[in-house]
Structure 1
Amino acid sequence: MLKNYLLIAARNLKISPTYTLLNIAGLALGMAGATLIFFFLNHHLATDRHQPNADRLYRVVLDLHLDEGIVHESGSAFALSSVLGRDYAGVEKAGFVRKIPMVTFSAGSGQATKRFMEKDNVAYADQGYMQLFDFKWLGHNAVKSLQEPFTVILSQKLARKYFGTEDVTGKILRLDNAHDLKITGIIADSEHPSDFQFDAYISLPTLKTIEPSNWISDYGWISSRNYTFVRLASGAHAARIEQLITKNGKTYYGDNAPYFRHHLQPLADIHFNENYDGKIRKSILWILGGVGGFLILVASINFINMATARAVRRAKEIGVRKALGGTRQQLFWQFTCETALVTVLAAWTSNLIIIPLLTPLNNWTHTQAFQFSGLFSLKIAVFALVIWVTIILLAGFYPAVILSGFNPVAALKSKLGPRQVGGIGLRRSLVVVQLAIAQIMIIGAMVMMLQIRFFRKADLGFDHKGVIKITLAKPGQVPVNRQSLRNDLLQYPAVKSVTWEHDAPTSDMGFGGSVRFDNRTEWEKFVIKNRYGDADYIKTYQMPLLAGRSFSDRDSVPEFVVNEEFMKKLGIRDPEKMIGKMMEDGASGFQGRIVGVVKSFHLKSLQEGIEPCVIYARPDQYREVAVRLDMSNFWQTLARIRRTWEAHYPGEVFNWEFADEKIASFYDREEQLTNLIRLFAWVAIVICCLGLYGMVSFMVTEKTKEIGVRKVLGAGVDNILALFGKEFLVLIVVAFAIASPLAWLIMNKWLSHFAYRIDFHWWLIASGGLLILPITAFTIGFRVVKAARMNPVKSLASE
C-alpha cells in the first residue's frame, strides 16, 4: 500500500512541475534557514559543555561594590586561587590561567629561524588548570611539567605550524626573542567549542621570572586576563564557598574588604553573561531560534496555500477515487505521502543550499559553527527528523483533511466552492501571518543595521581614522632608542605623528583602580581606568584638550592627563581648576601632578557608558606603536614604515592593523546577529512571495470565469489588477497593524542593552510595510497579468 501511495504521489508531482518546484523551493529555503540557525545555536549552547564535571566547574569572578554602583570583573588574583585550592574544604581542585594578548615565538636556529606572532591564543597556566579541563594528549601527559619554569605545552596545530610535525617534544621555542621554552607535551586540537582552551600553555612559574613582582601574594593583582577556576566537591554549594571568601575578606584585602564580593560563576553561564565578558546573550539565541521557527512556519503556510489553491484542479481526481470505493482514510494517507515526498525532496535540496553558505557564514559570524561534517552528526539527523515530522504535520495535515473530505458528487460536477476547499478566510489569515513575520524581520534587520552603522560612525571623542598600530616585537620591553625609531619614521612626509602605547584610547584594556586626589587622606569612592602612552599619545589620536597640556614622559615626577568625566566625578566644573592638582593612581602606585584635561572619550564600546580615565607614560606597559598617516599614498608609505621597522627589529614579525579595525571588532557580536537576521529576512521574503503566488493562484482559479466575464464587458488588465490588488492591500495593512507593535517591543528591548543607541523613529516601523508593498505588488501582478491576458473565450467555455 505504501509503495502505491508513493508511486501515485510521484506521478502527481510530475504532472504539476511548477507546483512541485514552488513547494520544494519554499520548504527547502525554510529548512535550510532553520538548519543553519540550529548550527549557530548548537555551537554556542554546546560551548564548554563537554568538559568533565561541567556542573561542578566554576569561575571565580568579582563584584566591586562602590558608592556609585557595582563594577563587574571577570578576573581574579593568583593569590586567591592558591588559597582556594588549599584552605577551602568544599573546593576539590583550583586552577589559574592568565591570557596573553600577544606573544612572539621563534622556532629553529640560525638562518632557518622562523618567527610567529600569536594573539589571544596563548596563556600562562598552572597544573591545576590543566587538570580541570578536558585535554587529549598526543603522547605522555605533561601536566606536571607546568610546575617548572620555562616549559610550554603546544597544540598539534601550532606544532605543525612551527615545525611541520607533531613530534616536537623536547624542542625549544624562543619566547619574545628573550627566553627559551622547552616543549614538554602536545595536546590534540579541540573538536568542541570552548572559551578557555588555548594553543600554547606556558608554565606559570615562567611568569615569575619574566614579570618579577608580588603577583604571587598580592590579592589585589586582579586583571580581566587572570582567571581562577574551581571544581567543587560533590555536595558542596557555591553559595557556601562565596560566604567563606567574604568572611576571610579582611585577611585578603584589609580595610577595603567590604568593596570586594567574589562569586562562583557556573561554567554554563560564562559564555552568555555579559557582565563578565560573555560572548553572546542567550536572549539573542532565543531570537534566532524564533526566526528559525518562523521560517518553518512561513514555509508550511506556503505549502497549505498552494495545496488548497490546487485543490479545485484535483477535484475530479478525488471524485473518481471516491466513486470507485476509495475511503477518506486512504485519501488522507495518499495526500500525506505526497507531503512527505515533497518534504524529503526539499530536505535534500536544502543541503544544496546549505553547503555553499558554510564558509561565508563562518566568516560573517567569526566562528567555526558551520561545518560540513556537522551535516552528518547525530544532532543534525535528529533535528532534520523533527523538522520533517513538523512540516508534515503543519503543512500536510490540513490539506490532507480538506482534500480527502470532498463530496464526490460535487467534485465530479465541478461544484466545489471556497468553503469546500478550505475557505478563503483561513488562507487570507495565513498570508497575513506570513506578511507580518516578514515585516517584523525587515524592521528588525533595518534597526540592527542602523545601530551598527551608528556604532561605526559615532564620535568617540578622538580621531582614530588614518592611524595604524604596529605590534612590538617584545611587548613591555621598549628599546632605549625608541626616539630614534620615532625620528626615522617622522622623516617620511606622510607620517604625521608617532606614539608608543599600550593600546588605543578605545580598547579592551582593563587596567585601572582606585584614585586619591589632591593629597586627600581617603581614596575616592569611584575607580578610574588607565591608558598608557608617551608624550605624543594625545597628539597622535587628536584628543581635544580642554585645559592644560599633554603629559611628558621623562623619568622625573609623573604627569597625568585626565578626562572630563574624571573631573565631573570630583564635582569640579572648571577644567582649569584641575591643573596642578596632585593625584595618586592606585593601579600603579604612581603619584604625580595633573597637567591636562581632555574631552571625555569612549574607553570601550558604545554599549557602555563613559568612565573616568587617566592617561600617563608607563614604558614597561607599551606593546605597540601607533602612527598617524596621510592616507593619500598609503601602501607606499606602509612599505617604507616596514623597512624602517625591520631595520630597528631585524628578523622580527611586522604586524600591523588599522586602529579603527580594532574598534570595529567590539561590535562583532552585534554584526553577527545583524548579518544573520538580514540573511534570514530575505529568505522569509522569498518564501513569502511563493506563498503570495499560491494565494493569488487560488483566487485566480476561483475567479477565472469572473475575469472572463469582466473582459467580455470591457475590463482591461489594469481593472483586473485593481480587483486583486485591493484585497492584498488590505492584507498588507492588517499584517502591518500586527507587525508594528511586535517589532517595536522586540527592537526596543534589543536597543535597551546599549548605553548609546539610535532613536527608534516611526519611519523605521513604516519601512517594513513600504518594502513589502512593492515585493507583494510584483508577485501578485505577475500572476494576475498572466490570468488577465487569457482569452476570455477559453475561461467561459468550460461552463
Structure 2
Amino acid sequence: MLQNYLRVAARNLRLYLSNTILNMLGLGLGIAGAMLIFLFLRYHISTDRHQPAADQLYRVVLDLHLDEGMEHEPGSAYAMASALSKDYSGVEKAGFVRRLPVVTLSSGSGVATRRFMEKENVAYADAGYMELFAFRWLGHHAAASMEEPFTVVVSRKLAMKHFGTVEVAGRILRLDNAHDLKITGVLADESRPTDFAFDAYISLPTLKITEPTTWTTDFSWISSRNFTFVKLRPGTAPGIVERLIARNGKKYYGEHADKYYHHHLQPLSDIHFNENYGGKIRRSMLWILGGVGGFLLVIAGINFINMATAQAAGRSREIGVRKVLGSTRQQLFWQFMVETALLTCLAGLLALLIILPLPAVLNSWTQTNAFLLSRLPKPDVMLFGLAILAMVVLLAGFYPAVIVSGFNPVAALKGRLSFGRPGGFGLRRSLVVVQLIIAQTMITGTVILVMQLQFFRNADLGFDQKAVIKVTLPVQGTGKRESFKNDILQYPEVRSAAFQYDAPTSDMGFGGSVRFDNRADWEKFVVRIRFADADYLKTYQIPLLAGRSFSDRDSVREFIVNEEFMKKLGIRDPAYLLGRSVEDGFSGNKSRIVGVVKSFHLKSLQEGIEPCIIYAQPEQYREIAVRLNPGNISTALSHLRNAWQASYPDEVFNYEFADQKIASFYAKEAQLTSLIRAFAWVAIAICCLGLYGMVSFMVTQKTREIGVRKVLGAGVDSILVLFGKEFMLMILIAFAVSAPLTWLAMNSWLSHFAYRIHLNVWLAVSGGLLIIPVTALTIGYKAVSAALMNPVKSLSNG
C-alpha cells in the first residue's frame, strides 16, 4: 500500500510541477531558517554546559550599593579566592583567573624570532582554576607547574603559531620582551562554546613577582578582569556562602562593608546571559530569535495549506473518480499525507542545500562558531531536524488531507465543490492574515532595530573619534614613548597625539568617590577616571567650557572635570570650579581643577553619562591616540609603522581605529539586527509565496464570476479591484493586530538603553506600508492574467 501511495504521490508532484516547486521553496526556506536559528540558540544555551560539575560551579560577583544606585561588578579581588578556599567549609575548591587585555609573546631568537601581540586571549591562572574547568591535554603535562613562577600552558593553536608543532614542552615563550616563560603543557583547541577559553595560561605566581604590590592581600583591589570561581560541596546552598562572606565583610572592607559591599555567587549557567555582569547575550534575545524560527515554520505551513487547497479544486475530478472506484476516506487521507511527507522531505533536502553555503557568512555576522557544518550531524541537531519535518507534515498536511478526502464524489465529478462554507475559505483567509501579521511585525521590528543601530553609530559622543588611531604601547621601553610621539608629530599626516589608558568612550571602569573643596564628607556619587596627557583634549577635540588643559608635570597634579561632575555638585557656572581642590579616592591624589569640559559618553549609549576626572598618570598609559589629517590613511599608517620600527624594533606594531572600537560596544545589537533582517527577508519571501497561492485559489474560485463581469462590461481595472480589496482588507486587519504588538515589544527592547530613538507613528506603520507594494507585486501577475482572460473561456471553464 505504501509503495502505491509513494508512486501516486511522485506522479502528482510531477503533474503539478509549478505548485510543487512553490511549496518546496516555501517549506525549504522555512525549514532552513528554523534550523539556522536552532544552531544559534543551541550554541549559546550550551555555553560552558560541558564543564565538569557545571551545576556546582559559581562565579563570585559583587554588587556595590552606592548612594546613587547599584553597580554590578563581575570581578573580584584575588584575596577573595584565597579566603574562600581556606575559610569556608562549603567551598570544595576555589580558582582565580585574570584576563589580560594585550600582551606580546615571542619565541626564538635573532632573525628567527617570531613575535605576536595577543589580545584578550592570555590570562594568569592558578592551579585551582585549571582544576575547576575542563581542559583536554595533548600529551603529558605538569599539573603542579601552575604553582611555580614563570610557567605557562598554551593551546595547540598558539603552539603551532610559534613553533609549528605541538611538541613544545620545555620550550620558552618570552612575555613582553622581559620575562621567559617555560611551556609545561599543551591544550587542545576548544571547539565547545565557552566564555573562559584562552590560548595561554600563565601561572599566577608569575604575576606576584612581576607586579610585587599589595593587590594579592587587598580585598578592595577589585578589577573586572579578575574572576574568582568556586565549586561548592554537594548539599551546600550558595546562599549559605553568601551570608558567610557578608558576615566577614568588615574584616575584608572595613566599617562600611555592610552598606556598600554585597557579594553573590553567580551560577555558571547564568554568566553567559546576565548582562549586568558582562554577559554576552540576553536570554530575551534568544527567545525573540526562537520566536522568529517558529514564525518561519508557521508561515511556511500556511503556504502549504493554501497552495494545497487551491490545488484541490483542480484535482476534484480525480478525487471523485477515486471515490466512485471504491477508495475510502481513510485511504485518500493517507494518500495526501504521504504526498505531504514526500514533498516535505524534498523541502528538507532543499533546506540543506540552502544552509551549506551560509556558515561562513553567519559566523562572521555573529562572531561565533555557531554555524559550523560539523554541528549538523550532531544527534540533537538531527533530532531537531526530524522533529521539524514531522511537525510540518502533521500541521501542513492534516487540514488539506481532511478537506480533500471529505469531498462529495458527485460534486467532485461535476467540478462543483464549494469552499465557501464555514471553516473553508474563511479559514484560509485567516491564515493569510496570520502570515501578514508575522511579516508586518518582522518588517517593523527590523526597521526599528536598524534605526537604533544607526542612532548608536551616528550619535554625538561629545568628542570626535573619527580619523583617530589607537596604537598599543609596549609594556617595556617606557623611556622611548616621548621620542616616538615626537617622531610621529613630524609627519604632515598627523595632527596631534596623546598618551592614554583608553579612549574617552571605553569599557574602562576605574573610578571611586571624591571629596570636593575640602568638604568634610565624601560626595555621594561615583566619579570615573580617564588617564591621559595634556594633548588628550586636542586629539579627541573635547570642548573646554572653562579653564585649560592640565600640565604633564608629574610633581604637580592638575585635574580636568566634565560638565556632569559640575552638575552633580549642583554648580551651574563652570568657572566656579577652577582652582578648587578635589581629593580622588581612587588614586589618593589631591589636586586643583584647571579645566571643565563638555560632558562626553564614557561608556556605550546603553548607559547614561557619568561624572569624570581626567589627569596625567604616565604609569597607566598603554596606548597613544593619533589624530590624522584627512587624506591618505595608508601613507599615514606606513609612516607610523616606520616610526615604530625606529623606536621599538623588537615590538609588534598594533593599531585600531577609535570608531571601530566604539562600534564594537554594539556588537550584540548588530548581530541581532543582521540575523533578524536576514530572516525578515526570508519571511517576506515565504509570505509572497503564500499570497501567490491565495490569489491562485481566488482566481480558480472566481473564474465564472470574472467571465460574467466581463460579459456585462466590466473592465480590467474593476477586475483588479475585485482582487485588491480582498487583500487590502487582510493587510488592514493584520496591521491592526501587528502595530500595537510591535510597538509594545520594541518599546520594551528600547527601554534597555539610556539613549534611544523615539517610536513614532511612521515607525509603527512602516511594516504595513512596506507590505503593500510587496503584496501588489506578488498578486499583480496572477490578477492581471485573470482580468485579461477571454470571458468565453472563463465561462466554459467555470
What's the TM-score bracket when you normalise by the shorter of the two chains?
over 0.9
1:770 paired with 2:772, answer: no
Identity fraction in percent: 67
Partner of 2:657: 658
Match for residue 231 of structure 1? 231
Pairing 1:676-715 to 2, within 5 Å after superposition? 676-715=675-714
Q: Which residue of 1 aligns with 2:360?
A: 359
Whether the 8 Å contact between 1:478 and 1:619 is mirrored in structure 2 is no
**1:716: how far off?**
3.0
1:26-49, Cα deviation, whole Å (9 max, x unpaired): 000001111111111111111111
Q: Secondary structure at the match of 1:310?
A: helix
Cα deviation, residue 97, structure 1:
0.5
Q: Which residue matches 2:723?
A: 724
Q: How many residue pairs align between the two structures?
A: 797
**Residue type of the partner of 2:498?**
T
Q: Which residue is equivalent to 2:311?
A: 310
In structure 1, the residue matched to 2:144 is 144
Q: Secondary structure at the match of 1:33?
A: helix
Contact 1:311 1:421 in 2 (8 A): no
Q: CA deviation at 1:421?
A: 10
CA distance in 2, matches of 1:55, 1:254: 33
Contact 1:308 1:421 in 2 (8 A): no
| AA at the equivalent of 1:402 | I
- Alignment of structure 1 residues 784-795 onto 2, 5 Å: 784-795=783-794
The whole-number CA distance in structure 2 between the counterparts of 1:343 and 1:208 is 63
The one-character-per-residue Cα deviations of 1:498-533 (angstroms, maximum 9, x if unpaired) are 111111000011212222222334332222211111
Name the counterpart of 2:417. Answer: 416
Whole-angstrom CA distance in 1 between matches of 2:738 and 2:757: 20
3-state SS in 1 of match to 2:498: strand
Describe the SS at the equivalent of 2:215. coil
1:612-639 C-alpha deviation (Å, 9 max, x unpaired): 1111111111111110011212111211
Looking at structure 1, the residues matched to 583 and 135 of structure 2 have their Cα atoms a distance apart, in angstroms, of 45
Matches of 1:515 and 1:270 in 2, distance apart? 32
- 1:333 to 1:420, Cα distance in 2 relative to 1, 3 A: farther
- Give the Cα–Cα distance (whole angstroms) in 2 for the partners of residues 568 and 348 of structure 1: 63
In the alignment, residue 275 of structure 1 is paired with which amino acid?
A: N
Amino acid in structure 2 at the alignment position of 1:225: R
Structure 2 CA distance for aligned equivalents of residues 525 and 555 of structure 1: 29
CA distance in 1, matches of 2:479, 2:162: 31
Aligned-partner residue type, residue 771 of structure 2: I
Q: Which residue of 2 aligns with 1:779?
A: 778
**Structure 1 position 343 matched with structure 2 position 341:** no
SS of residue in 2 equivalent to 1:438 = helix
Aligned to 1:177: 177
Q: Find the residue that maps to 1:102 and give its secondary structure.
A: strand
Give the match for residue 324 of structure 1.
325
SS of equivalent residue, structure 1 residue 104: strand
Q: 1:436-469: per-residue Cα shift (whole Å, max 9, x none)?
A: 1000000000000000000011011111111011
Q: Deviations over 1:641-674 (max 9, x none)?
A: 1111111111421111110000000000001001
Which residue does 2:583 correspond to in 1? 584
1:602-617 to 2 correspondences below 5 Å = 602-617=601-616
Q: CA deviation at 1:570?
A: 2.1
Mapping of residues 370-385 of structure 1, within 5 Å? 370-385=371-386
Report deviation, 1:2.
1.1
Aligned to 1:109: 109
> In 2, Cα distance between the equivalents of 1:550 and 1:359?
48
- Deviates most, 241-250 or 479-488: 479-488
Measure the CA separation in 2 of the matches of 1:362 and 1:226. 29
* CA shift for structure 1 position 478: 5.6
For residues 604 and 529 of structure 1, the distance between their equivalents in structure 2, rounded to whole angstroms, comes to 10
| Aligned position for 2:244 | 244
My pick for the range that moved more, 412-421 or 671-680, is 412-421
TM-score w.r.t. length of structure 1: 0.98
Counterpart residue number, 1:742: 741
> Residue type of the partner of 1:741?
P
What's 1:451 paired with?
452
- Larger deviation, residues 296-305 vs 349-358: 349-358
Partners of 1:64 and 1:261 within 8 A in 2: yes
Output one character per residue of 1:253-286: Cα deviation in whole Å (capped at 9) or x when no partner: 1123121111000101111111111111100100
- 1:752 maps to 751
Equivalent residue, structure 1, for 2:633: 634
More divergent stretch after superposition (335-344 vs 718-727): 718-727
Contact 1:478/1:620 (8 A) holds in 2: no
Does 2:436 correspond to 1:442? no
Where structure 2 has 5 or more consecutive residues not aligned to the other structure, the ranges are none
Q: Provide TM-score, normalisation by structure 2.
A: 0.98
Post-superposition Cα deviations, 1:224-274, rounded to whole Å, max 9, x if no partner, equal 000000000000011111111011001001123121111000101111111
Over aligned residues, Cα RMSD in angstroms? 1.2
Native 8 Å contact 1:176 1:473 kept in 2? yes
Structure 2 Cα separation of the partners of residues 23 and 244 of structure 1 = 63
CA distance in structure 1 between the aligned counterparts of 2:202 and 2:256, rounded to whole angstroms: 33
Structure 2 residue 671 is the aligned partner of structure 1 residue 672: yes
1:478-517, aligned counterparts within 5 Å?
Answer: 479-517=478-516
User: Is the 1:608–1:754 Cα contact (8 Å) retained in structure 2?
Assistant: yes
Further displaced range: 277-286 or 253-262: 253-262
Aligned amino acid, residue 215 of structure 2: W
Looking at structure 2, the residues matched to 113 and 595 of structure 1 have their Cα atoms a distance apart, in angstroms, of 47
Equivalent-residue separation in structure 2 for 1:784 and 1:567 (angstroms): 67
Structure 1 unpaired stretches of 5+: none
How far did residue 711 of structure 1 move? 2.6
| AA partner of residue 57 (structure 2) | L
Write the letter of the residue equivalent to 1:158.
L
Q: In 2, are the aligned partners of 1:402 and 1:421 still within 8 Å (CA)?
A: no
Separation of aligned partners in 2, 1:707 and 1:629: 70
Partner of 1:37: 37
SS at match of 1:177: coil
Shift of 1:715: 2.9
